[in-house]
Amino acid sequence: MITNNASPVPHSKNGKGNSIVLREMPRVKTRGDLMFSKRRISKWFSIISTLLIGAAALAPDAFGIPLDLRPWVFLTSIFWLLAFCSGFFSP
């Protein structure tokens, strides 16, 4: 049984010579440079609100939160952080 192993691609001695590009790298399709897209606005809203709720839970005196509501703000911050980390706010 005889097989023909001749390749049309020329091989160089160091491996860095001329080579044929077999496939083109995929390009990311964008809709343009949108400064205010829905995704970007919701992303920044979720980041800022998570930071504000976390700051209110850690320093309730700075935000003027009454003593009765402080445990609820702390619990809300925990659930909000879990929702943020699980990707609940990602569109």
> Interior CA angle at 62 toward 58 and 68, to 5°?
70
Distance CA 88, CA 39 (A): 13
Q: What is the pLDDT of residues 25-69, one digit of tens each?
A: 666 666 655 667 777 888 888 889 889 999 999 999 999 999 999
Higher-pLDDT residue of 9, 50: 50
pLDDT band at 1 (very low <50, low <70, confident <90, very high): low
Q: What is the pLDDT of residue 33?
A: 57
Q: What is the pLDDT of residue 55?
A: 93
Task: For the chain, give the percent of residues with pLDDT over 70.
Answer: 60
